[in-house]
Amino acid sequence: MKTKQIFNLFLTLVIFLSFTVSEVSAQTENKFTPIKFGSRNLGGPRLGFTYIPGHGELVTTLKDKKIGPLLSQFGWHFEYQIVPDVEGPCFIIEAIPLVAGVEYGTLIPSITLGFGIRFPNGIEFGMGPNILATEKGGMSALMLAVGKSFEYGGVSIPLNLAVTTNPKGYRVSFIFGYAIEKSNNK
């Protein structure tokens, strides 16, 4: 898939999800009453898999090191949310450092900085920069993600599908984990 096709697929998915989200009203009885915001901290462990398709530079480099196109991912998710006091979407800032390739006897570190929105029904999407450590230094890419978080008694269980792309190829990741809410000032 080319970068433009991936972007179009992601954009179509975001538009579809935005129409499936229940209508949210940010107004109270007095429509000029400002909305108050709180914050939440939902950090926690993350794990999953990344697939690197095609014949790009990254795939070639991995093949030279006898590393396949399917890699495990392990790391931690640092998430900070801005939460409105009325029902509505949460605004999310997250940092996700991960290591891949432990099954091949190596560590391939990466970090992603994501900015996104999570709706009250748990559907979420976001994007941000990604840096993958290589022998030649860092390789930057754009990460686009969509997912759903399930809430069970104060525990959040996110399931996310992410596409990370740059001119050297793209990666498709499925990442999941859990987080126990640590409230700040809600």
Q: Which CATH architecture has domain 3-18+39-183?
A: Beta Barrel (2.40)
The arithmetic mean of pLDDT across residues 137-157, rounded, is 91
State the pLDDT at residue 24.
45
101 three-state secondary structure: coil
**Local structure of 20: helix, strand or coil:** helix
In tens, the pLDDT along 94-117 reads: 999 999 999 999 999 999 999 999
Whether 67 has a pLDDT exceeding 80, the answer reads yes
- The pLDDT score that the predictor gives to residue 82 is 83
pLDDT attached to residue 73 = 97
- The 10s digit of each residue's pLDDT in 5-58 is 666 667 676 666 666 554 444 444 556 566 666 666 778 999 999 999 988 888
Nearest to 177 by CA among 154, 162, 155: 155
End-to-end alpha carbon distance in the chain: 43
Structural domain boundaries of the chain?
A: 3-18+39-183
Position 83 scores a pLDDT of 81
Could you please report the per-residue DSSP string of 77-97? EEEEEEEESSS--EEEEEEEE
**CA triplet 160, 82, 181: central angle to 5 degrees?**
65
**What percent helix, strand, coil does the chain show, rounded to 5?**
15, 55, 30
Say which range, 26-35, 53-62, 76-85, 166-175, has the weakest mean pLDDT.
26-35
